A and B are shown apart, each in its own frame.
Chain A
């Protein structure tokens, strides 16, 4: 039995989601290899080789992988799939696009967003926005899986000494051309791996008011998120969205400000360790899942909380 974990990186660093995915792979059992594909990605490959539990790192350093193009990455996975019983990637937009594509190339039914490994062919995954948990068993000889990163701890990084093997590229598609990206620059921790997340909803009224939440997040060393309603209203960019179809987060502290608590939002944050909500509607459904609720006008509560935290 052997698992190939597909490394996710941002062209300079290995992303923590890769470490969560390695933990899931270790739970499956057998050898764990990591595939790093990119251009000038030797530093990322070095980082991957130090992950505990990983015995080999396959590196495809090529201009083909200068950008993340699903078709090119999937073809590379298919070319190596004969050596593995499992292929796993984080359930990020990267992995969610990639794994089903690669699985179809290999004529395999992919398994999405697993939250637990029962045994090497049985997994638990949330369905219906996390309102039910399905235990599923795959009869495919090759299992291709995306991993809900918040459900698995980060693998230790630093002591591992995996061997690094350079691998050949396969033909690249010419029917998909990279044009550009518009990324949201942020000095704050990445939303899906932050220890503290401060999220705003429709109650924030506009984008400018999110500055209050940014200050709170900075004081707490956290990231800023948002409900779908706040993103749809244009208050903040799409990459802030926490929920069933956005990002799934499970920080130590989730602070929901002006968020009513729609099912699809709860799906993205209800596994947080401690949930706090500030809302002026005492009937808001968010209060059914909070550890600490504060029924107050957020425009009074947030500055008061900021002042209280700054007292320290």
Chain B
């Protein structure tokens, strides 16, 4: 089995983002970037399937500017075999990214594509579902467990009401939720080794994917700030405030 793992370079999860003064977006200059945390979970799961003997090869995919190569290398340092970088400075929307992933998944003959369920920058939560739709492959969204079996994959999904178990055919597309695994850290020797692993470079044009934008960002604003309130000393003061001041109980 061959596994394709698309990953995204985002502002590090621990950085507090700032809206730009001109309201065109958030400040990304001189800001620490990292692999999207849900994508790390996706890479980890692919590596575990390989280590169990269920997969032979794990390929990391990323679309974006030159710097996206760093994120691909981060996946290779975790243990993936090789990378594919779609080099473009264009603003990419999930539908266009899904079409690029489709092109690579078809070319590589990937049996399973594992994606993070959501990136923590745009919070779209779309690419995996769109990929399944454009490839007409079964979707397992928000998974917390996956096992390969003869019929394909047995998966457990995290849904609002609890957990759901599905059996999906292979080849398939799945998206990772938080409880799927805890990603490993790359060791120094593996970081060095990753530098020599092959990364194929392509462009949206070479893949025949149009990247014109359907969504225009008109403005990005700070959310209304919440003011810190007061501290209470004991239960009776809290209950009194909630009753008579806030009037919520």
Residue of B with least CB distance to A220: B249
**Chain B interfacial residues counted at CB < 8 A:** 79
Q: How far apart are the CA atoms of A273 and B217 in the complex, in Å?
A: 29
Contact count band on A: 35 or more
Residue of A with least CB distance to B26: A132
State the main secondary structure of chain A at its contact with B. Answer: mixed
On whether the beta carbons of B144 and A178 are closer than 8 Å, the reply is no
Asked if B88 CB lies within 8 Å of chain A CBs, one says no
Task: Tell me which residues from 237 to 278 in chain A have a Cβ below 8 Å from any Cβ of chain B.
Answer: 237-239, 241, 244-245, 247, 252-253, 263-264, 270, 273-276
- Among the 9-residue stretches B58-66, B73-81, B155-163, B195-203, the one with 4 or more Cβ atoms under 8 Å from chain A is B155-163
On whether the beta carbons of A309 and B239 are closer than 8 Å, the reply is yes
Which residues of B have CB within 8 Å of A133?
220-223
On whether the beta carbons of B218 and A122 are closer than 8 Å, the reply is yes
Asked if A291 CB lies within 8 Å of chain B CBs, one says yes
Asked if B67 CB lies within 8 Å of chain A CBs, one says no
Q: Do A239 and B138 form a contact, CB below 8 Å, given A129-B120, A133-B220, A274-B248?
A: no
Q: Do A135 and B218 form a contact, CB below 8 Å, given A100-B94, A110-B126, A176-B138?
A: yes
Task: Tell me which residues from 275 to 312 in chain A have a Cβ below 8 Å from any Cβ of chain B.
Answer: 275-276, 287-295, 301, 304-305, 307-309
Q: How far apart are the CA atoms of A232 and B226 in the complex, in Å?
A: 28
Asked if B192 CB lies within 8 Å of chain A CBs, one says no
Partner of B162 from the list A105, A239, A289 (CB cut-off 8 Å) is A239
On whether the beta carbons of B228 and A289 are closer than 8 Å, the reply is yes
On whether the beta carbons of A276 and B121 are closer than 8 Å, the reply is no
Which residues of B have CB within 8 Å of A178?
164-166
Q: How far apart are the CA atoms of A130 and B223 in the complex, in Å?
A: 7
On whether the beta carbons of A136 and B126 are closer than 8 Å, the reply is no
Which residues of B have CB within 8 Å of A125?
123
Asked if B150 CB lies within 8 Å of chain A CBs, one says no
On whether the beta carbons of A274 and B246 are closer than 8 Å, the reply is yes
Residue of B with least CB distance to A90: B160
Which residues of A have CB within 8 Å of B126?
100, 103, 110, 112
Residue of A with least CB distance to B214: A109
Asked if B209 CB lies within 8 Å of chain A CBs, one says no
Ordered nearest first, which 7 A-B pairs have the shortest CB separation? A104-B133, A100-B126, A109-B214, A104-B130, A291-B229, A183-B162, A175-B169
Q: Which residues of A contact B (CB under 8 A)?
A: 10, 70-71, 74, 92-94, 96-98, 100-105, 107-113, 122, 125-140, 173, 175-184, 192, 196, 220, 228, 231-232, 237-239, 241, 244-245, 247, 252-253, 263-264, 270, 273-276, 287-295, 301, 304-305, 307-309
**18 A-B pairs whose Cβ atoms sit less than 8 Å apart in the complex:** A105-B133, A107-B95, A110-B130, A132-B17, A132-B26, A132-B222, A133-B221, A135-B218, A135-B219, A179-B166, A182-B162, A237-B163, A253-B246, A276-B238, A287-B228, A288-B228, A289-B228, A307-B235
